């Protein structure tokens, strides 16, 4: 694994072949999302989405305690005391970090090294796939502290259905990793020490596939959630893999019993 971008105290970015790994690095604050960390992460994610050398993104946290505890409440309290207005997705014109992750063209995997709550859970479910371990817990406790969980309130019902989502949202209670797996929120439950390794392995499996095809099936699957079947089948989310050089290479490689060499065109 090689370091790529200039590192900061709060965000560490490394490359593992075609996989870019982002590690939230505020273990003393349970990897809470400070304003500076959010802006660094947004910028780095947008760069990765346009980098032809990156095919899959993995997001993880530092330390065994937490993947991410959400917003930094200490920062938020200090802003309240200073009279700084808190901006929600309903009163801001720019995208927040959860939207940026969810709308990425490339596949995203959350390697949940520890618990993910509040905005940390929203960051996790913004990713396409999730790997965790049995000791982690998850939840949206915003109703317990007078907040709103706007992104989670929109996305969670789409992932697990309205009834189960509302129980989590209204009670603010946490669920276990086993329950999250039952609900379909997790893809893999592995030993704690293997979470990142398994997430990167899954990323490599995806990265071996044709990049145009991967981006296409992700876009069609996610955009199709808001469309009728007929409309979803006729949507145009970008380059058609059937018209690509990679489609020809994929067929030739299969017939010649060799690994394909993707050109991303």
Positions marked catalytic: 122, 142
Q: Quick one: DSSP state of residue 135?
A: T
In angstroms, the first-to-last Cα distance of the chain is 27
Radius of gyration in angstroms for the set of CA atoms belonging to the chain, rounded to a whole number: 19
Show Cβ contacts of residue 216 under 8 Å, excluding neighbours closer than 6 positions. Answer: 237, 238, 239, 240, 241
- Contact indicator for 178, 214 with CB cutoff of 8 Å: no
CA 84 vs. chain centroid, Å, equals 29
Sign of the CA dihedral 49, 194, 138, 183? positive
Cα 241 to Cα 246: distance, rounded to the nearest angstrom: 7
Cα 84 to Cα 80: distance, rounded to the nearest angstrom: 6
């Amino acid at each position: 694994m090689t370091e790529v971008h200039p590192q900061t105290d709060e965000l560490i970015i490394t490359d593992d072949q075609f996989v870019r790994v982002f590690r939230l690095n505020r273990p003393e604050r349970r990897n809470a999302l400070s304003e500076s960390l959010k802006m660094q992460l947004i910028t780095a994610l947008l760069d990765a989405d346009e980098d032809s050398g990156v095919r899959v993104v993995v997001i993880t946290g530092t330390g065994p305690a937490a993947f991410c505890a959400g917003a930094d409440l200490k920062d938020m309290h200090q802003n309240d005391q200073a009279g700084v207005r808190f901006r929600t997705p309903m009163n801001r014109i720019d995208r927040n970090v959860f939207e940026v992750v969810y709308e990425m063209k490339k596949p995203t995997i959350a390697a949940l090294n520890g618990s993910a709550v509040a905005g940390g859970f929203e960051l996790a479910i913004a990713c396409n796939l999730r790997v965790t371990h049995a000791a982690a817990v998850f939840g949206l406790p915003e109703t317990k502290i007078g907040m709103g969980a706007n992104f989670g309130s929109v996305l969670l019902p789409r992932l697990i259905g309205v009834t189960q989502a509302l129980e989590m949202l209204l009670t603010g209670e946490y669920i276990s990793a086993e329950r999250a797996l039952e609900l379909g929120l997790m893809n893999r439950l592995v030993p704690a020490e293997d979470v990142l390794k398994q997430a990167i392995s899954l990323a490599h499996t995806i990265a071996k596939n044709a990049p145009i095809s991967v981006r296409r099936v992700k876009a069609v699957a996610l955009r199709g959630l808001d469309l009728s079947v007929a409309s979803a089948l006729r949507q145009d989310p970008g380059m058609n893999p059937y018209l690509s050089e990679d489609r020809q290479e994929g067929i030739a490689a299969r017939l010649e019993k060799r690994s394909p060499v993707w050109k991303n065109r």
